[in-house]
């Protein structure tokens, strides 16, 4: 600590902040434009930095996209760890978990599309990282809640792997289909907080009904 | 009829067959490559015709993609009309309808992505056509089954619009997330008939549980 001067602290804060600004700019553009096909010039412009910063911090646009995926998913994995520390029944734990998944897709509706684009272009090491460090921990956590619920007699004997796809599909269903939303709901461009709360409530009730014994 | 010679009949059959072959080739490539970004040379090569045939029959690649979307969805709309002629309870009608939606996404897992790509690039008239002639009839049919079920006391009072997104999301969830499927199911590349049957059964049970009073 003694060696860090005020200016080096300011510099490292500045670095973290440029890095974070770039990630947040990419995330915002993907949400607004409803696509993961965004350009580095647009990202840099949104973050108000030179686009060379993308290469400096992430090596490449692909590196930045992987860092964004890591940021988005690791945060949820930490929340899952906290969920297992709560002293609640499997039913209550699953309800909180499902609400978290719905919130996730509302906040980052590009998630599945980003994974799809990443695994198409990324190196085998990165694909392995995405599978092992990002996707499997979430699927395993849900599996664990379901097994505990079957054990305690609260849940019927569903296949946890299949239920996982019901979960991510139902969560994704509204937010990743913006045009259908607009057509079916009379022209609204995207879900807002009020619609999200209604969708979350009904979706969690439906999924829990499928699960409860 | 008197004016149609044997050779003109043969010609028009040949035309229908080239047109159908091109649509089927595009559909097969999108399924196999798990993307809607496919090239006209690949489509023509797969259909074993000159790529000029795409312009001849559809005007453009966009025209062909819209024709494919029409083919895929109109077939399901005709099945829905048949479903309403069956003398069954709303519960039974919904079950058949949901099975049909699951089968649809298994057969054409590119459906949502194709709609997404089409509405991004298509003219306002085509976007209107997709919304009014393809998406709304399906959403309305499901709405009608739900209202009848609520009326008869078989269903709880769910919001039919929200339930529609649960439906397409759950159906899409397995087939549009091939990488997650592979990661979670230990490396299998895509759903096969056996997995589809298991997923259909569990998904329909879950959605019906969310609906039944």
User: Mutual orientation of helices B111-121 and B61-85 as an angle, nearest 10°?
Assistant: 130
Interface test mutation site (partner A, options B94, B132, B173, max chain A beta carbons within 10 A):
B173
Is it the case that residue B1 has pLDDT exceeding 60? no
Weakest-pLDDT range from A97-101, A184-188, A199-203 = A184-188
B202–chain A Cβ distance below 8 A for any pair: yes
- Radius of gyration over every alpha carbon of chain A, rounded to an integer in angstroms: 20
Domain(s) labelled CATH 1.10.357.10 in chain B stretch across 61-211
Q: What topology does CATH give the domain B1-59? A: Arc Repressor Mutant, subunit A (1.10.10)
Task: Compute the nearest-CA separation of A205 from chain B (Å).
Answer: 7
ipTM of the complex: 0.87
**pLDDT for B38-56, tens place per residue?**
999 999 999 999 999 999 9
Does the beta-carbon distance from B174 to A165 stay under 8 Å?
yes
Rounded to whole angstroms, the Cα distance separating B107 from B134 reads 17
| Token pair recorded at residue B57 | 């029959």
Start-end of H helices in chain A: 6-33, 40-47, 52-58, 61-85, 90-107, 111-121, 124-129, 136-151, 160-175, 178-184, 193-211
| Token pair recorded at residue B60 | 């453009």
Which chain B residues touch A209 with a CB distance below 8 Å? 206, 209-210
User: Are A210 and B207 a contacting pair, CB within 8 Å?
Assistant: yes
More confident residue, B14 or B154: B154
Domain(s) labelled CATH 1.10.10 in chain B stretch across 1-59
**pLDDT for B175-194, tens place per residue?**
998 888 988 888 788 899 99
CATH of A61-211, picked from 1.10.357.10, 3.40.710.10, 3.20.20.70, 1.20.120.1200, is 1.10.357.10
Rounded to whole angstroms, the Cα distance separating A205 from B206 reads 10
Weakest-pLDDT range from A66-80, B85-99, B110-124 = B110-124
Does the beta-carbon distance from A172 to B172 stay under 8 Å?
yes
**pLDDT for A17-58, tens place per residue?**
999 999 999 999 999 999 999 999 999 999 999 999 999 999
Which residues pair with residue B212 across a beta bridge? B155
């Amino acid at each position: 600590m003694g060696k860090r001067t005020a200016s080096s602290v300011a510099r490292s804060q500045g670095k973290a902040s440029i890095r974070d600004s770039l990630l947040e700019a990419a995330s915002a553009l993907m949400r607004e434009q409803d696509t993961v096909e965004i350009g580095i010039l647009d990202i840099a412009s949104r973050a108000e930095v030179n686009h060379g910063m993308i290469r400096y911090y992430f090596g490449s646009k692909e590196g930045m996209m992987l860092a964004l995926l890591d940021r988005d998913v690791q945060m949820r994995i930490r929340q899952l760890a906290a969920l297992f520390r709560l002293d609640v029944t499997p039913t209550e734990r699953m309800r909180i978990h499902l609400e978290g998944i719905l919130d996730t897709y509302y906040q980052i509706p590009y998630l599945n599309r980003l994974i799809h684009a990443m695994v198409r272009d990324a190196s085998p090491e990165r694909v392995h990282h995405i599978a092992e460090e990002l996707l499997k921990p979430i699927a395993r956590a849900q599996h664990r809640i379901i097994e505990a619920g079957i054990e305690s007699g609260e849940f019927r004997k569903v296949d946890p792997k299949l239920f996982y796809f019901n979960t991510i599909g139902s969560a994704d269903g509204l937010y990743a289909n913006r045009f259908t939303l607009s057509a079916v709901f009379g022209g609204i461009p995207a879900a807002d907080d009020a619609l999200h709360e209604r969708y979350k409530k009904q979706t969690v009730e439906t999924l829990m009904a499928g699960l409860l014994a």
